[in-house]
Amino acid sequence: MEEPRLKGFWTKTMDRVVESKALYAVMIISFALYLMTRSPPFALLFALSLIAEFLAETVRGAGKHGWKHELTELAIAIIAALAIWFGASFLLGTSAPLDAVVSCSMLPNLERGDMMVLQGAVPSAPEVTVSAAQWDSQDWGNETGLWCGFCNGQLCIGKPVNAVEYRDAQGKLLSYGVLVNETPQEGNLVKFGCGMCTVALDSGSTVQTPCAKNVTIGNTTLSENLSNEIIVYNALPTDAMRGDIIHRVYARINAGGKYHYLTKGDNNPQFDLQYGNLPAPQERTVGKTIFRIPYLGYVKLFLFGHIATPQGCDTRIVH
């Protein structure tokens, strides 16, 4: 008689939990507190309460209808979700129709936690044509010829020679690098115009830091254009920035009929190439962004452990 009683206890307990909507209240409150404070414990609480609600619904359903029925329902839900995913992938022409913004590199145009809808199409951006021989002969390993006197936080490997430091009013190290325009770029197919940018801090103060003002590819010089489209590309294991990168296309480089995309985060002082990410070819591009859903991406971020606020979320490049 103990086993049926135990089952009845758990079923009644889960009934009370689900019907009280307490876990939904915890999710709403913890998420609101996270948005106000950006404190990781609130993000963790949201993720745990979401998982707890799922488990409570599952145990409740199993207690009422049996585990066989509940597992069948769960399998049907998974199959339906996969059908929607692959159907959307087919219609939009991409392997992944959704992706979440993890970092703050696209502020203020994209926020961390935005869910992006993607389409597998060639993005709109200025096109520059070079020969395949020119592209293939480029020495991308000459990173010192690419810096604009900037090396940022965790992306730094050692401290550059003759480095100068850039700190905020409280003395926090923001960046360091060689002096602007002292880096050799002769012989590079891609050259960067260097200057100084104003960075606004959450504290209300501003600082000056070296940054890339424009890029020259062959004989074509391009400056920032926020009407260029944003893409998602898969970084290489050898790239400094890993995972799925969501950045704006500055140039669509046609190298012997094959597209490569030169990208930059709107809130990054340098191009991805300057950080060590090679221009992504078309085959490593997941798609271009066509729509964003605010906040929905946080569900993915929290469930996959992206709880801590990344570096750079407390700064904005003003100009």
Structure confidence at residue 186 as a pLDDT band (50, 70, 90): low
Mean pLDDT of the 138-151 span: 57
Mean pLDDT of the 217-228 span: 90
The domain spans of the chain are 2-92, 98-317
Note the pLDDT of residue 144: 43
Mean pLDDT of the 77-105 span: 94
Please classify residue 213 by burial: count the beta carbons closer than 10 Å to its beta carbon, then call 0-12 exposed, 13-18 middle and 19+ buried.
middle
Mean pLDDT of the 156-162 span: 43
Which has the closest alpha carbon to 261: 135, 102, 115, 117? 135
What percentage of the chain has pLDDT greater than the value 90?
43
Amino acid at 81: A
Amino acid at 230: I
- Sign, Cα dihedral of 186, 228, 267, 42: negative
Decide: helix, strand or coil at residue 85. Answer: helix
Please classify residue 314 by burial: count the beta carbons closer than 10 Å to its beta carbon, then call 0-12 exposed, 13-18 middle and 19+ buried.
middle
Question: Model confidence over 254-307: pLDDT tens digits?
Answer: 998 999 999 999 998 888 888 888 899 999 999 999 999 999 999 999 988 888
CB 185 within 8 A of CB 216: no
Please tell me the least confidently modeled range out of 92-106, 151-165, 244-258: 151-165
Question: Angle CA(308)–CA(314)–CA(319) in degrees, nearest 5?
Answer: 140
Mean pLDDT of the 97-120 span: 94
Q: Read off φ and ψ for residue 286, nearest 5 degrees.
A: -75, -40
